Every structure is written in structure tokens, then in C-alpha cells.
């Protein structure tokens, strides 16, 4: 018993020393679980540059893509809880994969601590102009009249894009056929080419195609109309409570000292409150959030429950 007490005291002293000395000149790594150039990566790089200035230590972004984002999450889950390895994570590997796959190498509740919410981006329901659809109501009416006649693309089985359409199918009482792709951009390319009728996709990659007429924006998935497409109605205006989009947040390994978590959260909030940062990310279709650990943890838990329930209701299974 005496040895246990001494061990606990030494561990506590080490944690206190780390919290008091953090950060040093040692670089902080922000791991992104997706390839460079995506929204998660853009947010991470915008955060890293400004975080380095605020904390006075180098901050680097490392892309660790693969296995639907689980490789990057697992790398952070298994990292030392010293404040030098962080994750910019999104809903996919954090709240969706655990609802679909048993035997993931990490447990979000056990292995990660939410630090701060960073931002959200809405999905957009788009269709190829050849379908003749101009509105959400056109799409729903056609799908009801000819069940199974129309199809939709997604970024793959068990992705947020698939969940978005399955949620709409459930609310509208329609049947459209799912065609999974290895990534949203590949699916969108086939919608643009007329090989697939439509899909939900993030606003930013779809925007140029909508503006030049190669895609028709039928509805957005946000709680309010998107600032970049103010004339496009939301799905929620027709189907109350509908929400389709994705969120991004900052995580640390479990057992990271709370003083370090608090310092990171405060720095992230200050960065996201800067009008220049907000404008930079808004141009990419990201609405900055910046609320703190308690609210963000509640969001992650609520999203986990929502996806688990929806997966059960509509029978979605991951690859």
C-alpha cells in the first residue's frame, strides 16, 4: 500500500511539473486523420500558425490518413498525454465509426479528451441538371412517384454523407439507391457528369459547380440558410429537425493535465474569435464555433447517440 501511495504521489508530481513547464520549445504536433487539402486539414493549418504565435512554440500539422480516419485518431489516442500531440478530428472516426464497427483500436470516451469545438460545415443536397429537379420538393415527388428509379452518391458506406441522405429518405418516406464512392469528390464528379442523379456534399466543393450551372442546389442541411447560398432553402424548412453537416474539434489524449487542456482551449477560442480567422474559414464554408470543453464534450456524446440510433433505424453498416 505504501508503494502505491508513493507511486501515486510521484505520478501526481510529474503531472504537475509538466503542467507548469508546458509548453517548451518542443514542437506540438496536430494530427489530421485525412489527406492534405481537405477541410480538416485547412482548419488545422489555420489553427497551427496562430497557435504557434500564441504559445511561443512550433506547431506542425501531420496528415495521417487511412481506415476512414481511424489511423489518425488511434495515433493520438496512444500518444503521450503531455500536450504535444493533438488531433483535429471530425465526426467520422469520432462519432460515426464507433456506431458501425466493433473492435476499433481506440475508445473515444476512454482514450481522448475533447478540448474545444472549432467549426461546422453544412452539407448541400445537389442534383445533376439533367434530372430537371429545381427544388427539394421536385426531388421528393419524383422519388415517391418512381421508387428506386433515382440514385445518390456518397463518400462511402457509413459516412456522414450517406447518413444525411438516409435521414432524408426516412423523413420524406422515399427510396433512392445508394452508390458508395471512395470519397465525396469522386462521387460528386459522377453527379456532375450525369452518371449519378444527386447527393449530399459539403458546400465548399460544390459551390463552383452550382455557380456555373453544372449542379443544382436543392437544399442545404443547416439549421439556417447558408451565408454563401442565401436563396437556397434548408431541408429543415420542409422537414423539421433535419440537420446534415459535419463538425470539427480539437482533441488531446486522455489524462492530459487539465491545466494544459484549459490553456489549449483558451488559445483556440481566442484564435477563432479573431475576425480575420473567421473570415478565412467562412470563405471555405466553415462556420467557426469556438465553444469550450464542457459544451463540446456534450456535443460529441449527443452525436454518438444520434448516429448509433440512426444506424440501427435504417440499417447502415460500415465497410
pLDDT at 14: 44
Q: What is the rounded CA–CA span in Å between residue 59 and residue 90?
A: 20
State whether residue 314 is helix, strand or coil.
helix
Residue ranges in the chain assigned as alpha helix (H)? 2-21, 39-55, 70-77, 91, 97-100, 108-111, 136-145, 160-172, 184-192, 203-211, 258-273, 275-282, 293-314
Question: Over the stretch 287-308, which tens digit does the pLDDT of each residue have?
Answer: 999 888 999 999 999 999 999 9
Q: What is the rounded CA–CA span in Å between residue 250 and residue 30?
A: 9
pLDDT at 83: 97
By C-alpha distance, which of 301, 313, 307 is closest to 158?
Answer: 307
pLDDT at 319: 65
Q: What is the rounded CA–CA span in Å between residue 225 and residue 233?
A: 6
Question: Over the stretch 58-67, which tens digit does the pLDDT of each residue have?
Answer: 999 999 988 8
pLDDT at 18: 46
Which three three-digit cell numbers place residue 29?
504536433
pLDDT < 50: residue spans in the chain: 1-18
pLDDT at 11: 42
Q: DSSP assignment, residue 248? A: E
pLDDT at 154: 94
Q: Are 73 and 89 a contacting pair, CB within 8 Å?
A: yes
Give the DSSP H or E segment for 200: strand 198-202
pLDDT at 290: 87
State whether residue 103 is helix, strand or coil.
coil
Q: What is the rounded CA–CA span in Å between residue 26 and residue 84?
A: 8
Residue 97 CB contacts under 8 Å (≥ 6 apart), including other chains: 68, 69, 70, 104, 158, 318
Tell me the whole-structure pTM to 2 decimals.
0.86
Q: What angle do CA 179, 305, 312 make, to 5 degrees?
A: 45
Question: Over the stretch 187-204, which tens digit does the pLDDT of each residue have?
Answer: 999 999 999 999 999 998
Q: Are 147 and 119 a contacting pair, CB within 8 Å?
A: no
Q: What is the rounded CA–CA span in Å between residue 152 and residue 154?
A: 7
Residue 218 CB contacts under 8 Å (≥ 6 apart), including other chains: 125, 126, 127, 133, 134, 135, 136, 138, 139, 198, 232
Q: What is the rounded CA–CA span in Å between residue 61 and residue 44?
A: 7
Q: Are 295 and 117 a contacting pair, CB within 8 Å?
A: yes
Amino acid at each position: 500500500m505504501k508503494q502505491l501511495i508513493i507511486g501515486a504521489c510521484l505520478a501526481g508530481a510529474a503531472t504537475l511539473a509538466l503542467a507548469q513547464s508546458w509548453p517548451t520549445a518542443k514542437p506540438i504536433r496536430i494530427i489530421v486523420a485525412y489527406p492534405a487539402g481537405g477541410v480538416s486539414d485547412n482548419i488545422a493549418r489555420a489553427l497551427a500558425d496562430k497557435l504557434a504565435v500564441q504559445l511561443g512554440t512550433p506547431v506542425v500539422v501531420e496528415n495521417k490518413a487511412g481506415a476512414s480516419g481511424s489511423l489518425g485518431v488511434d495515433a493520438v489516442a496512444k500518444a503521450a498525454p503531455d500536450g504535444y500531440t493533438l488531433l483535429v478530428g471530425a465526426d467520422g472516426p469520432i462519432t460515426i465509426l464507433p456506431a458501425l464497427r466493433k473492435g476499433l483500436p481506440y475508445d473515444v470516451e476512454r482514450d481522448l479528451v475533447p478540448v474545444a469545438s472549432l467549426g461546422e460545415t453544412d452539407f448541400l443536397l445537389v442534383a445533376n441538371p439533367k434530372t430537371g429537379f429545381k427544388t427539394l420538393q421536385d426531388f421528393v415527388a419524383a422519388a415517391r412517384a418512381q421508387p428506386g428509379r433515382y440514385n445518390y452518391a456518397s463518400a462511402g458506406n457509413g459516412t456522414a454523407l450517406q447518413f444525411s441522405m438516409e435521414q432524408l429518405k426516412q423523413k420524406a418516406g422515399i427510396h433512392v439507391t445508394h452508390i458508395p464512392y471512395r470519397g465525396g469528390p469522386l462521387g460528386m464528379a459522377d453527379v456532375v457528369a450525369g452518371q449519378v442523379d444527386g447527393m449530399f456534399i459539403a458546400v465548399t466543393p460544390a459551390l463552383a459547380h452550382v455557380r456555373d450551372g453544372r449542379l443544382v442546389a436543392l437544399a442545404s442541411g443547416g439549421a439556417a440558410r447558408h451565408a454563401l447560398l442565401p436563396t437556397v432553402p434548408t431541408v429543415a424548412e420542409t422537414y423539421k429537425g433535419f440537420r446534415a453537416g459535419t463538425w470539427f474539434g480539437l482533441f488531446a489524449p486522455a489524462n492530459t493535465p487539465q491545466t494544459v487542456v484549459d490553456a489549449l482551449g483558451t488559445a483556440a477560442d481566442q484564435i477563432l474569435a479573431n475576425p480575420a480567422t473567421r473570415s478565412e474559414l467562412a470563405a471555405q464554408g466553415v462556420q467557426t464555433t469556438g465553444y469550450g470543453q464542457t459544451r463540446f464534450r456534450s456535443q460529441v456524446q449527443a452525436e454518438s447517440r444520434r448516429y448509433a440510433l440512426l444506424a440501427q433505424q435504417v440499417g447502415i453498416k460500415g465497410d
